[in-house]
Amino acid sequence: MQPYAAGFDFWVGSLGYNLEIFYYLLGIGFWKTAD
């Protein structure tokens, strides 16, 4: 259970960072389709 807890804490901690990348790529997608 310890490795799972550590992995879960890491996932939650990096969730905001992952969302930033997701919205960044999403913005590029919209920019390319608009062009």
Summarised one tens digit per residue, pLDDT across range 1-35 is 566 666 666 666 677 677 788 888 888 877 777 66
- What pTM was estimated for this model as a whole? 0.39
Burial 1-26 (b: 16+ CB within 10 A, else e): eeeeeeeeeeeeeeeeeeeeeeeeee
Spatial separation of the C-alpha atoms in residues 15 and 20, rounded to whole Å: 9
Residue that is written with structure tokens 């913005």 in the block: 27
pLDDT of residue 15: 72
